């Protein structure tokens, strides 16, 4: 059977309702413990413990892509999908290189957003607004894809009893409402419970699939090696004229994601929330355990799916179809876990984008705006983004999907400026601004014209030209004599 299972719409709706009631209660608890001011609302007063920080970091990073996209990717392309995900995971080393610096800078200068930090380091309000604007343009579509995925899942699993449109509007409004209500503390606590649901459900599903459906781990290995050996090597099985993971494709996929932990604002903002260095360390340690375990589980599920349902027309159907083979209660729990993955990524991005629109754009243009006024603006932004999200998701345009898929390629363009801000005193705002704009333009033009010079992906060309421009302009242009904003380049953080 293809296209998923039919669980009664009543049970799907009930599970979703319970999930959101619990999430809202946690968000409300977060609200009760949240004091006044921007720092309290957006970074939980920089007072979150290591355990909750680790879980919100994990839930924010891992979206519904894991249990739907990556399972499908492994199902069709084999172990290359694991390589892709683990190379991203090794990029967490950058979080260690920068994490302590983000944390210290955040505490010392009271930064709330990554764009604020970058703008201050270079002494450029324009750069600050530019970074925020790029994040808004690419991350709103990325969030809408999470919403689209959740709504399709609910519609498919209920056999159409929960219509797509109703699912989009309901999930969109509820997520936006509890994010608005709970602020960062609420989001962190809901993320924590959602992360636990994600890992427990995925592990339970894997045990059931391998032990009951496949017949044990040894059988899984033996059958894979004899029935689908092409899945166990790279570049993997044929795809069109090429292979699933040709080297240039693999490079194009992995490089933007390798830098994910320092380019995605919703992730960087999490370095501002731990209450101590000990909590920061535990946040990263916890994420390492969660990310590694989750990746192994998900890729094994993809490989096992190939043995159980080998002839699907689309790889993305692997998970919904696999759920058709397991008992309904387990399928419901996994469905809730996928929903949890989608909403825990979306709520974090939503709050981060609200903080960026408020601090990096609104307060940037209106520096004398009070905290109360700014916070009011930020909460209105959450509402506006929610409306955009629902509209984009109700009628997904090709452009929205394209922007979402390529978001990591554009956010990658922050890398040279981020390195320069902390490690190169000679650099300057013009170099940072020009290189980011040029990198995004090159990436965009190559994507939309579908040109891959020398077989390299647009993101690679974008970052190469960006880095070259950054280095040349840093050497040629004289730095600002004195940064206009506190905490300029080379302030020793």
219 part of the interface to another protein, by CB under 8 A: no
Classify the C-alpha dihedral 276-114-470-447 as positive or negative.
positive
370 part of the interface to another protein, by CB under 8 A: no
Classify the C-alpha dihedral 135-260-127-351 as positive or negative.
positive
Of 238, 278, 310, 327, the one binding another protein (CB under 8 A) is 278
123 part of the interface to another protein, by CB under 8 A: no
Question: In angstroms, what is the minimal distance from the CB of 79 to another protein?
Answer: 5
Joined tokens for residue 237: 């099985």
Q: At residue 234, what are phi and psi to the nearest 5 degrees? A: -105, 150
Question: In angstroms, what is the minimal distance from the CB of 418 to another protein?
Answer: 17
Task: Pick between residue 261 and residue 337 the one whose CB is nearest to another protein.
Answer: 261
221 part of the interface to another protein, by CB under 8 A: yes
Task: Pick between residue 94 and residue 318 the one whose CB is nearest to another protein.
Answer: 94
Q: Other CB atoms closer than 10 Å to residue 228's CB: what's the count?
A: 16
Joined tokens for residue 79: 């172990």
276 part of the interface to another protein, by CB under 8 A: yes
**Interface stretch with another protein, choices 105-113, 129-137, 222-230, 413-421 (CB under 8 A):** 222-230
Of 1, 90, 137, 207, the one binding another protein (CB under 8 A) is 90
# of chain residues touching another protein (CB under 8 A): 37
225 part of the interface to another protein, by CB under 8 A: yes
Question: In angstroms, what is the minimal distance from the CB of 63 to another protein?
Answer: 20
CA distance 105 to 423: 14
Task: Pick between residue 292 and residue 424 the one whose CB is nearest to another protein.
Answer: 292
CA distance 138 to 130: 12
Cβ–Cβ < 8 Å for 354, 384:
no
- Sorted by sequence, the CB contacts under 8 Å of residue 221 that are 6+ apart come out as none
Binding residues among 291-320 for another protein as defined by CB under 8 A: 292, 296, 299
Joined tokens for residue 264: 């995605």
Task: Pick between residue 232 and residue 464 the one whose CB is nearest to another protein.
Answer: 232
CA distance 99 to 102: 5
Binding mask 96-115 for another protein (x = CB under 8 A): x---x---x-----------
CA 285 to chain CA centroid, Å, is 19
| Cβ neighbourhood burial of 369 (10 Å; 0-12, 13-18, 19+) | middle
CA distance 356 to 132: 6
Binding mask 46-85 for another protein (x = CB under 8 A): ---------------------------------x--xx--
397 part of the interface to another protein, by CB under 8 A: no
Cβ–Cβ < 8 Å for 236, 246:
no
Question: In angstroms, what is the minimal distance from the CB of 67 to another protein?
Answer: 19
| Sites of contact with another protein (CB under 8 A) | 79, 82-83, 86-87, 89-90, 92-93, 96, 100, 104, 221, 224-225, 229-230, 232-235, 247, 250-251, 254, 258, 276-278, 280-281, 284-285, 288, 292, 296, 299
């Amino acid at each position: 059977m293809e296209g998923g299972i039919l669980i009664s719409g009543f049970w799907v709706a009930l599970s979703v309702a319970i999930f959101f009631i619990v999430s809202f209660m946690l968000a409300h608890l977060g609200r009760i413990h949240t004091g006044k001011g921007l720092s309290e609302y957006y970074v939980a007063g920089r007072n979150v413990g290591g355990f909750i920080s680790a879980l919100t970091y994990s839930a924010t990073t891992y979206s519904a892509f894991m249990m739907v996209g990556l399972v499908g990717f492994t199902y069709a392309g084999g172990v290359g999908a694991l390589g892709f995900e683990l190379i991203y995971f090794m990029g967490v080393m950058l979080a260690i290189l920068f994490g302590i610096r983000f944390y210290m800078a955040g505490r010392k200068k009271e930064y709330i957003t990554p764009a604020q930090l970058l703008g201050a380091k270079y002494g450029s309000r324009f750069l600050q607004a530019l970074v925020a604007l790029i994040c808004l343009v690419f991350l709103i579509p990325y969030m809408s894809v999470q919403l689209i995925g959740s709504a399709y899942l609910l519609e498919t699993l209920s056999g159409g009893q929960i219509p797509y449109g109703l699912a989009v509007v309901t999930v969109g409004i509820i997520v936006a409402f509890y994010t608005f209500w709970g602020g960062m503390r609420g989001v962190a606590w809901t993320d924590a419970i959602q992360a636990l649901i994600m890992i427990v459900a995925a592990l339970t599903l894997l045990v059931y699939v391998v032990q009951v459906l496949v017949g044990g781990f040894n059988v899984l290995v033996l059958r894979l090696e004899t029935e689908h050996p092409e899945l166990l090597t790279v570049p993997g099985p044929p795809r069109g004229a090429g292979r699933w993971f040709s080297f240039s494709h693999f490079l194009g996929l992995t490089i933007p994601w390798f830098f994910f932990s320092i380019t995605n604002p919703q992730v960087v903002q999490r370095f501002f929330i731990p209450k101590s260095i000990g909590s920061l360390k535990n946040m990263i340690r916890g994420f390492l355990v969660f990310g590694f375990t989750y990746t192994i589980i998900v890729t094994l599920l993809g490989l096992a799916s190939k043995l159980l349902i080998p002839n699907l027309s689309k790889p993305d159907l692997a998970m919904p179809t696999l759920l058709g083979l397991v008992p309904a209660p387990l399928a419901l729990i996994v469905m809730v876990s996928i929903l949890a993955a989608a909403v825990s990524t979306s709520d974090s991005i939503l709050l981060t984008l609200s903080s960026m629109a408020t601090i990096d754009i609104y307060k940037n243009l209106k520096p004398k705006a009070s905290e109360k006024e700014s916070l009011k603006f930020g909460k209105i932004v959450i509402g506006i983004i929610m409306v955009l999200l629902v509209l984009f998701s109700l009628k997904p345009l090709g452009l929205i999907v394209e922007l979402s898929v390529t978001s990591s390629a554009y956010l990658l363009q922050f890398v040279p400026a981020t390195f320069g801000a902390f490690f190169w005193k000679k650099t300057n705002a013009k170099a940072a601004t020009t290189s980011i704009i040029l990198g995004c333009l090159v990436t965009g033009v190559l994507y939309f014209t579908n040109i891959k010079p020398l077989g390299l992906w647009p993101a690679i060309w974008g970052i190469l030209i960006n880095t070259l421009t950054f280095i040349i302009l840093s050497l040629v242009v004289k730095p600002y004599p004195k940064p206009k904003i506190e905490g300029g380049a080379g302030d020793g953080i």
